[in-house]
């Protein structure tokens, strides 16, 4: 047991020791005595002191009373026994501000000291306990008030007459007030102001009076803002102490969320029950099903009236499907409508316009979107309408009205869920009807089967579940004879391979498609099998006998076509080879003839000889043009004619044509005009030579058939079909004899002539216009003609060219080369005697030195021992041809002979020949027959590169 520690404060040292001895004998623990008030304070602060025995009169600035007043009794709550010599009356006056525990007078007796100490300790302990009890009581009261005011449950006290005596903050906030005081001031009649239905208040008081308490009494209450909530009240009726007055004390709980959840569950149950009734209800047709659905919607939302309107989003029109049964007897509208346009509708059409539900709980107060009801319409108090959206399109609107209480979001949700399910059921019913209609009317046979397996799970048979009429028609089997039976029961000879194949479909889900032949029916069937659900397979098949026969015939036809195509290719190849050989064989002697005529022309001495040479050369040129036309037509038909895409000056290209025909213009005295629109680009990209070929043919024909008047060439821009394109419209018109109308249709056919027989006044093979048409087509254009006999003819065509980028734009008009005037040494490799003689003589007359070789080997030998400026190389020669000779020269180690210009002078003029020769290393190409002017031009161009 802990001993009581006592501090002695006495400035009389002997008395202090005396008191210490007495305390020791009494069993207390005396602390070292101190003599002043300040020392007493220091001891109390630094030691555990249970009691102080202190003299009132102490030496120093602070006596015992002052020390006690400062901290000892106040801060440390330490009991003090004052030791004094003063009379009791004077002592009480001095120490009343300290409230000491006790007093002891000098001289101090041991027994009196012991009693005084014990009583002082007990008295101090009792005071301490009293203070603690009072503090605990105050804290308990504070906690109670705190809990009362801030309890999660509402707490209240009220009179049976309906006046609140008190209520806590939780209940005040439950009712929409900011404080309990505000609620007390506002509510003066609980039944009239708090209860939504005052009769529920009467029932509450009846139960409370009868039993003295009420537990979990649920009722609807109205908050200060008018919102309806659910509350649960547990209350007791008590008698106030000392009087006969009664008071009701209770606890309130907000159960709105629970009631909403219960109502939601109840509504969901009702909706599911509605769906069950609808699905189990036998409906004769879709209309009766929707009528029943509307009844369920009205019942589910506790409404009195309702409607369903179909809606067409394309026409924006409503058409009535159903009104509730109790509407029409009450309706007094003279001519009720069943169809409305969206623009005619008011508030109920907003469900479509806004694509969301519309809810109005105070219809009579008016709505800005309402257009009112027609005279005689049933009175509306509350209204709810929703759109039904399927595949992102509104298909119908459903409306209900005149519910006794307000519509809520729960009504919207339940109505939407119910009607969505209804419309899906409608869709399924329509799909089922469509399926049955398709099932019955499809031309392909259909059968549904169930696979049968043995104890090992291996397919061993299958059973027919259903078949369509087409199946019966195609197989000759009747539905009533096979449905429910297995295939082995119906056809015992069925091969196991069929059961195995269909078993894989039913058990593995792998679809199968194949063609089969029925010996018994003599038909080919195309069969498709798939698995609609586990252990079942469906088969769709149709008679493809005729298709099979057609495919067989088509296959045979295809083989024949391939055979003919191969024959055609062989014929085309033979034709090309023939034309190539004939071109070579004709051009070689023709080149000799023209060369000799040109030589003869240079030696002619009289007018008659000159005319003969000129006429002979004209005939040779006609033959050359005919040969070129035949080869061009052959290239086009073989698809080997290519249009180059090179930059050229548009105006200069057309001007060259004008210059070409200028001598003929002067001779015939026909006015020849050219007009080029300024909006046509100066430089374009395309094939200038083929453009000139088309224009040359058309202008040549114009001169051929025009005796007097004029010939005009015009070019105008056309709108481009694509970016970076220039389309040009050309017209070549003349004032010639014109073409009969019955001949226009055949002009562009090969070898066609406007005038047949022996009376033709104009020469030609009839290939020019055919080639023009094909060349224009290759230039992404077309050509047409207009003509009137005796008036003239106009050819119109368009061609497409590329537009050069700015970086490629340049002046191409300065590319005219000048002939090299300095004579040069020419090595001529040519095996044809006449051609060699003619070319050599022509070149010598032009001032050049010519050395001849009869083949490529001889040309190489001459090149090795002599110096030459240029080589004219024939292609087809004995011993070594021109291509092999060119390759050997190009691979020679001797410079500059390996780079000497080599010009192919050959009768090979078919498509691709020029490219092949250039690829072999030749510098340029000139086809036979040639004339001196072309030869000089090529030589000059070669040296000016």
Asked if 886 and 913 sit in the same domain, the reply is yes
Neighbours of 161 (CB within 10 A): 11
Structurally, the chain folds into a number of domains equal to 6
CB 831 within 8 A of CB 878: yes
Q: Is 827 helix (H, G, I), strand (E, B) or coil?
A: strand
**Whether 833 and 923 share a structural domain:** yes
Q: How far is the C-alpha of 651 from the C-alpha of 41, rounded, in Å? A: 127
CB-based contact 750:770 (threshold 8 Å): yes
Question: Does residue 446 belong to any structural domain of this protein?
Answer: yes
CATH of the domain at 669: 3.30.565.10
Retrieve residue 177's tokens. Answer: 């007030």
Which among 214, 234, 262 is the end of a domain?
Answer: 262
Q: What distance in Å separates the CA atoms of residue 188 and residue 194, rounded to the nearest whole number?
A: 10
* Residue given tokens 């085309």 in the structure block: 572
Supply the pLDDT for residue 761: 44
Residues of the chain where predicted confidence (pLDDT) is lower than 50: 1, 334, 751-752, 754-765, 813-820
Give domain status of residue 356, yes or no.
Answer: yes
Angstrom distance (rounded) from CA 459 to CA 452: 6
Alpha carbon distance 125, 593 (integer Å): 157
Same domain, 250 and 288: no
For the chain, the residue count is: 945
pLDDT at 631: 62
Is residue 590 included in any domain, yes or no?
no
In a domain, residue 661? The reply is yes
In a domain? residue 637: no
Cα torsion angle, 562, 568, 570, 573, sign: negative
The span from the CA of 882 to the CA of 876, in Å, is 6
Of the candidates 897, 904, 833, 846, the residue with the CA atom closest to the CA atom of residue 869 = 897
Residues 790 and 685 reside in one and the same domain: yes
Q: Which token pair is 376?
A: 């005689």
**How confident is the model at residue 122, as a pLDDT?**
84
Q: Does residue 443 share a domain with residue 413? A: no
Together in a domain, 303 and 385: yes
Phi/psi of residue 924, nearest 5 degrees: -150, 180
CA–CA dist 719, 290 (Å, integer): 61
The CA distance from 83 to 266, in Å, is 86
CATH number at residue 542: 3.30.450.20
CA atoms within 13 A on the CB side of 936: 16
Residue 819 is assigned to a structural domain of this protein: no
CA–CA gap between residue 758 and residue 449 (Å, rounded): 83
CB 121 within 8 Å of CB 51? yes
The CA distance from 91 to 108, in Å, is 16
pLDDT of residue 360: 86
In angstroms, the Cα distances linking 566 to 471, 557, 559 are 46, 14, 10
Q: Has residue 693 been placed in a domain?
A: yes
Tell me the C-alpha to C-alpha distance, in Å, between residue 310 and each of 165, 316, 350, 852. 59, 10, 15, 101
List the structure tokens of 725: 């394109």
pLDDT at 373: 66
Contact yes or no for 236/213 (Cβ under 8 A): yes
Task: Tell me how far apart the terminal alpha carbons of the chain are, to the nearest angstrom.
Answer: 133
pLDDT of residue 38: 83
Per-residue confidence (pLDDT) for residue 331, from 0 to 100: 60
Q: Are residues 404 and 518 in the same domain?
A: no
Adjacent-strand bridge partners of 105: 84
| Beta carbons within 10 angstroms of residue 678's beta carbon | 7
For residue 727 the two structure tokens come to 């389309």
HSE value, Cβ hemisphere, 13 Å, CA-based, for 315: 10
Report how far residue 485's alpha carbon sits from residue 465's, in angstroms, rounded to the nearest whole number.
8
Question: What is the model's pLDDT at position 295?
Answer: 84
Identify the DSSP state of 398. E
Nearest CA among 907, 310, 226, 358 for reference residue 593: 907
- Cα angle vertex 355, ends 349, 361, to 5°? 60
Residue 624 lies in a domain: no
Q: Which two tokens stand for residue 389?
A: 């959206």
Would you state the structure tokens that stand for residue 770, as one six-digit string? 């055919």
Task: Looking at the structure, tell me whether residues 289 and 422 fall in a common domain.
Answer: yes
Q: Which of these, 318, 352, 325, 369, lies nearest to 360 by C-alpha position?
A: 369
Residue 327 is predicted with a pLDDT of 59
Same domain for 291 and 409: yes
State the Cα–Cα distance between residues 403 and 297, nearest whole angstrom.
12
Global model pTM greater than 0.75: no
Say if CB 64 and CB 6 are below 8 A apart: no
Supply the CATH number for residue 93's domain.
3.40.50.2300
Give residue 870's domain range: 825-944
Q: From CA 81, how far away is CA 104, in angstroms rounded? A: 7
Alpha carbons 580 and 519: distance in angstroms, whole number: 59
Helix H segments across 96-179?
110-150, 169-174
Strand partners, 222: 228
Residue 156 shares a structural domain with residue 255: yes
Distance CA 903, CA 226 (A): 110
Domain identity same for 158 and 52 = no
Residues 57 and 110 in one domain: yes
Share in percent of the chain as helix, strand, coil (round to 5): 45, 25, 30
Last residue of a domain, one of 374, 396, 428: 428
Q: Tell me: the pLDDT tens digits for 166-187?
A: 888 888 988 999 998 999 999 9
For the chain, give me the number of helices (H) and strands (E)? Answer: 27, 33
Which of 519, 547, 575 terminates a domain? The answer is 547
């Amino acid at each position: 047991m802990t001993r009581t520690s006592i501090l002695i404060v006495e400035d009389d040292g002997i008395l202090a020791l005396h008191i210490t001895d007495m305390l020791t004998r009494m069993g207390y623990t005396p602390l070292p005595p101190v003599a002043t008030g300040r020392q007493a304070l220091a001891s109390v602060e630094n030691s555990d002191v249970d009691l102080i025995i202190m003299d009132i009169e102490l030496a120093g600035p602070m006596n015992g009373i002052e020390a006690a007043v400062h901290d000892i009794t106040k801060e440390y709550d330490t009991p003090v026994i004052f030791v004094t010599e003063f009379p009791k009356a004077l002592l009480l006056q001095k120490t009343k501000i300290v409230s000491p525990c006790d007093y002891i007078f000098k001289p101090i007796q041991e027994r009196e000291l012991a009693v005084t100490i014990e009583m002082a300790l007990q008295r101090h302990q009792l005071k301490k306990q009293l203070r603690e009890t009072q503090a605990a009581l105050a804290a308990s009261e504070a906690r109670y008030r705190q809990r009362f005011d801030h309890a999660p449950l509402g707490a209240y006290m009220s009179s049976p007459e309906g006046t609140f005596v008190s209520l806590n903050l939780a209940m005040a906030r439950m009712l929409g007030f900011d404080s309990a005081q505000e609620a007390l001031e506002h509510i003066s009649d609980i039944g009239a102001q708090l209860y939504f239905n005052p009769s529920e208040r009467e029932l509450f008081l009846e139960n409370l009076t009868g039993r003295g308490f009420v537990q979990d009494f649920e009722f609807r209450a109205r908050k200060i803002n008018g919102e309806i909530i659910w509350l649960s009240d547990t209350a007791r009726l008590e008698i106030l102490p000392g009087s006969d007055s009664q008071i009701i004390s209770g606890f309130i709980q907000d159960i709105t969320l629970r009631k909403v959840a219960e109502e939601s569950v109840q509504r969901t149950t009702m909706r599911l029950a509605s769906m069950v009734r609808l699905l189990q209800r036998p409906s004769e047709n879709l209309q009766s099903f929707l009528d029943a659905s509307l009844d369920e919607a009205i019942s589910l939302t506790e409404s009195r009236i309702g409607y369903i309107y179909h809606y067409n989003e394309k026409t924006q029109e409503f058409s009535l499907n159903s009104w509730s049964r109790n509407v029409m007897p009450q309706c007094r509208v003279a001519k009720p409508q069943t169809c409305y346009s969206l623009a005619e509708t008011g508030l109920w059409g907003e469900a479509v316009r806004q694509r969301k539900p519309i809810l109005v709980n105070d219809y009579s107060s008016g709505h800005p979107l309402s257009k009112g009801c027609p005279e005689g319409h049933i009175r509306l108090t509350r209204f709810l309408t929703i759109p039904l959206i399927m595949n992102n399109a509104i298909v119908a609107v459903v409306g209900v009205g005149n519910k006794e209480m307000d519509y809520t979001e729960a009504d919207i949700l339940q109505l939407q869920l119910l009607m969505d399910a209804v419309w899906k059921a409608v869709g399924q019913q329509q799909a089922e009807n469509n399926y049955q209609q398709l099932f019955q009317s499809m031309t392909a046979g259909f059968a549904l089967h169930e696979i049968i397996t043995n104890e090992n799970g291996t397919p061993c048979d299958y059973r027919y579940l259903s078949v369509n009429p087409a199946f019966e028609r195609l197989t000759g089997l009747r539905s009533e004879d096979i449905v429910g039976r297995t295939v082995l029961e119906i056809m015992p000879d069925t091969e196991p391979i069929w059961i195995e194949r269909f078993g894989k479909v039913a058990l593995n889900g792998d679809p199968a498609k194949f063609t089969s032949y029925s010996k018994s029916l003599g038909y080919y069937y195309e069969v498709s099998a798939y698995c609609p659900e586990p252990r079942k397979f469906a088969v769709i098949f149709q008679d493809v006998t005729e298709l099979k026969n057609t495919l067989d015939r088509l296959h045979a036809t295809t083989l024949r076509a391939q055979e003919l195509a191969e024959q055609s290719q062989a014929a085309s190849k033979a034709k090309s080879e023939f034309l190539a050989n004939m071109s070579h064989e004709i051009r070689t002697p023709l080149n000799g003839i023209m060369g000799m005529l040109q030589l003869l022309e240079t030696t002619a001495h009289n007018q008659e000889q000159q005319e003969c040479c000129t006429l002979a050369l004209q005939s040779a040129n006609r033959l050359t043009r005919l040969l070129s036309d035949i080869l061009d037509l052959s290239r086009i038909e073989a698809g080997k004619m290519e249009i180059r895409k090179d930059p050229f000056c548009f105006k200069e290209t057309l001007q060259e044509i004008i210059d070409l025909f200028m001598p003929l213009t002067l001779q015939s005295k026909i006015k020849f005009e050219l007009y080029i629109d300024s909006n046509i680009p100066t430089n374009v990209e395309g094939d200038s030579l083929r453009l000139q070929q088309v224009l040359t043919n058309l202008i040549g024909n114009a001169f051929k058939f025009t005796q007097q008047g004029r010939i005009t060439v015009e070019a105008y821009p056309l709108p481009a079909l694509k970016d970076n394109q220039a389309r040009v419209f050309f017209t070549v018109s003349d004032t010639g004899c014109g073409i009969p109308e019955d001949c226009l249709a055949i002009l562009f056919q090969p070898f066609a002539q406007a005038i047949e027989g022996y009376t033709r006044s104009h020469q030609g093979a009839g290939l020019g216009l055919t080639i023009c048409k094909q060349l224009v087509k290759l230039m992404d254009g077309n050509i047409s003609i207009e003509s009137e006999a005796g008036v003239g003819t106009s050819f119109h065509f368009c061609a497409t060219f590329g537009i050069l980028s700015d970086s490629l734009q340049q002046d191409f008009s300065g590319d005219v080369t000048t002939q090299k005037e300095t004579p040069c040494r020419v090595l001529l490799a040519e095996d044809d005697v006449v051609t060699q003689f003619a070319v050599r003589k022509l070149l010598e007359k032009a001032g050049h030195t010519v050395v001849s070789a009869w083949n490529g080997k001889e040309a190489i030998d001459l090149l090795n021992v002599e110096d030459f400026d240029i080589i004219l190389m024939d292609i087809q020669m004995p011993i070594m041809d021109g291509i092999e000779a060119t390759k050997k020269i190009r691979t020679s180690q001797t410079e500059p002979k390996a780079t000497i210009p080599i010009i192919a002078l050959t009768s090979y003029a078919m498509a691709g020949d020029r490219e092949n020769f250039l690829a072999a290393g030749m510098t340029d190409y000139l086809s036979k027959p040639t004339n001196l002017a072309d030869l000089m031009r090529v030589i000059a161009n070669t040296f000016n590169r």
